[in-house]
Chain A
Amino acid sequence: MNYPENYRYTKEHEWVGLADGIATIGITFHAQEELGDIVYVDLPKAGTSVEKGKTFGSVESVKAVSDIYAPVSGEVTEANELLAAKPEKLNEDPHSSAWLIKVRVSNAEEFSNLMPASEYQIYVGAES
């Protein structure tokens, strides 16, 4: 699997893209594959504060529910409405149209401290 080079990654299998102080957060291809058929996504509303390392939502597959952890701190500016109607998009397009939330980051350093794609690739390779 190709993990976009411009994203950063967490050990909990989230990805983050950063542009103009807004972080776009999603779950990785590996994460959706592990989860299986995704049927429900629970996300915070715009205006909610999220804190790095704390859970901000959940993704449910037929089999189980998984918490999603914030890879960076900040304020939610948008939750992806597509996923309320079409949670299965997370299986189809996890790195692009099926992003979860956008966050105005309070500390850009949190982003730079995450794993780059090359490192994440090795991490998931080693885990599986």
Chain B
Amino acid sequence: MSENQPLSRTPLNEIHRASGARMVDFGGWDMPVQYTGIVDEHNTVRNAVGLFDVSHMGEIEIRGPEALRLVDHVSTNAASRLKTGQAHYSGLLYEHGGFVDDILVHKVADDSYFLCVNASNQDKDFEHIRSHNHFDCEVDFASPRYAQLAIQGPKALEVARQLTSADLSAIRYYWFVDGEFAGVPARIARTGYTGEDGFEVYVAPEFAAKVWNAILAAGAEFGIKPCGLGARNTLRLESAMSLYGHEIGASITPFDAGLGWIVKMDKGDFVGRDALAKQREKGLTRALAGFEMRERGIARDGYEVFIGGEAAGWVTSGSPAPTLCKNIGLCLIPADRAKVGEKIAILIRNQTVEAEIVPTPFYKR
């Protein structure tokens, strides 16, 4: 990202600034990192309901008679198994098996798929998918047509159902429906990145402010609060969900990252499949594991991990966990050491501090 390039803004930028959010440069986007405080927002989502502006996320639409063939060719999960109105988590890989990005694939119709991708990867993803499009379908960079709001927490259903005539209680986790929401056309998906129940609502950018305000008004009785990316990160980490650039990236395969479940080797060829088959044949050398600090100290992203006095890997994400009141993290270490109960040490500012491998997710609702 060039220093001179102005930051991108979501349609809710003025609302964030007017309501006193602290803004940060998040991969080239001017985004709220917190409103009232990360811990307060985190707890609000765990105990009641929070609202996130995630309009920086990208959208790519694939339409045409062979849309399914392209989606299945560029992604690791089996899109052919999706029913209309269903979504799943998947990976876009390079030929060498590393991640281009992690994505959500929504089946809108037999000839129409809707991909939600990471903000800072959206241009790269679009070019990647287009470069593999030898099929009878079109790849459409749809990000400018969508804002995305995430309503997350145990009270999310009660808030969202007030704003639509769609029967949201009938929508199962990782399913979605197109309908009216707060009086505007919307795609309402029961998905999220917090480990709680919730909905991600896609609307046209010109309606974002209206929908944002309607959600806050509908959620007032439940104590809804706007939340920033800081809480989004602690929530997803407690749930051990991957974040691009941390747990996954171009040099990390789905098998390394413990995401074998999004890879369907039996579905036929796809980009990266050969490399994954070779990796599987050779056996895994490293694995992602969750840990808890056993001594005082907080592991942070990028800190070195030592096992038996030897450098053994690194912390992919580390943070205090507000719900658990513990300091936790994920690390990439040799596969044979990634076992629950294994003692590891994290190098924190030139001192090794003890930690232990624990089961993930750290938190489950």
Asked if A65 and B300 sit within 8 Å, CB to CB, the answer is yes
- CB of B185 within 8 Å of the partner chain: no
Asked if A36 and B37 sit within 8 Å, CB to CB, the answer is yes
A62 in complex: contacting residue of B230, B296, B297, B349, CB < 8 Å: B230
Binary flags per residue of A27-68, CB closer than 8 Å to B gives 1, else 0: 000000000110110000000000000000010111111000
B39 in complex: contacting residue of A37, A40, A60, CB < 8 Å: A37
Majority DSSP secondary structure for residues of B touching A: mixed
Asked if B349 and A63 sit within 8 Å, CB to CB, the answer is no
Asked if B298 and A40 sit within 8 Å, CB to CB, the answer is yes
Q: Give min CB distance, A88 to chain B, whole Å.
A: 9
The residue among A37, A60, A62 with the most chain B CB atoms within 10 A of its own CB is A62
> B residues within 8 A CB of A62?
38-39, 230, 234, 319-320, 322
**What's the count of A-B pairs with C-beta under 8 Å?**
34
Alpha-carbon distance A65/B320, docked complex (angstroms): 12
Asked if A63 and B296 sit within 8 Å, CB to CB, the answer is no
Asked if A37 and B298 sit within 8 Å, CB to CB, the answer is no
Given contacts A62-B230, A65-B298, contact A40 B320 (CB under 8 A): yes
Q: Give min CB distance, A13 to chain B, whole Å.
A: 16
A60 in complex: contacting residue of B22, B40, B298, CB < 8 Å: B298
- CB of B76 within 8 Å of the partner chain: no
- CB of B33 within 8 Å of the partner chain: yes
Interface residues on B, range: 10 to 19
The count of residues in chain A whose C-beta lies closer than 8 Å to any C-beta of chain B is: 11
Q: Give min CB distance, A122 to chain B, whole Å.
A: 22
Given contacts A62-B322, A65-B300, contact A37 B37 (CB under 8 A): yes
Asked if A63 and B298 sit within 8 Å, CB to CB, the answer is no
- CB of B34 within 8 Å of the partner chain: yes
Binary flags per residue of B286-306, CB closer than 8 Å to A gives 1, else 0: 000000000011101000000
Q: Give min CB distance, A92 to chain B, whole Å.
A: 12
Asked if B33 and A63 sit within 8 Å, CB to CB, the answer is yes
> B residues within 8 A CB of A58?
349
Residue of A nearest to B231 (CB): A62
Binary flags per residue of A60-104, CB closer than 8 Å to B gives 1, else 0: 111111000000000000000000000000000000000000000
A37 in complex: contacting residue of B38, B297, B300, B349, CB < 8 Å: B38
Alpha-carbon distance A40/B38, docked complex (angstroms): 15
> B residues within 8 A CB of A37?
37-40
Q: Give min CB distance, A86 to chain B, whole Å.
A: 13
Chain A contacts with B in 5-37, Cβ cutoff 8 A: 36-37
Chain B contacts with A in 309-365, Cβ cutoff 8 A: 319-320, 322, 349
> B residues within 8 A CB of A40?
296-298, 320
Residue of B nearest to A61 (CB): B38
Asked if B349 and A36 sit within 8 Å, CB to CB, the answer is no
Residue of B nearest to A67 (CB): B349
> A residues within 8 A CB of B322?
62
Alpha-carbon distance A36/B34, docked complex (angstroms): 9
Alpha-carbon distance A36/B322, docked complex (angstroms): 13
Binary flags per residue of B32-62, CB closer than 8 Å to A gives 1, else 0: 0110011110000000000000000000000
> A residues within 8 A CB of B296?
40
> A residues within 8 A CB of B230?
36, 62-63
Q: Give min CB distance, A63 to chain B, whole Å.
A: 5
> B residues within 8 A CB of A36?
22, 34, 37-38, 230
Alpha-carbon distance A6/B297, docked complex (angstroms): 34
Alpha-carbon distance A60/B318, docked complex (angstroms): 12
> B residues within 8 A CB of A63?
33, 38, 230, 319
Q: Give min CB distance, B31 to chain A, whole Å.
A: 13
> A residues within 8 A CB of B38?
36-37, 61-63
Residue of A nearest to B33 (CB): A63
Q: Give min CB distance, B325 to chain A, whole Å.
A: 10
Residue of A nearest to B320 (CB): A39
Alpha-carbon distance A61/B322, docked complex (angstroms): 11
Residue of A nearest to B38 (CB): A62
Additional A-B contact list (4), CB under 8 Å, known A40-B320, A63-B38 = A37-B37, A39-B320, A62-B322, A65-B298
Question: 11 A-B pairs, CB-CB below 8 angstroms?
Answer: A36-B34, A36-B38, A40-B297, A40-B298, A40-B320, A60-B298, A62-B230, A62-B234, A62-B319, A64-B300, A65-B298
- Which are the 10 A-B pairs with shortest beta-carbon distances? A62-B38, A37-B39, A39-B320, A37-B37, A60-B298, A62-B320, A63-B230, A37-B38, A40-B298, A36-B38
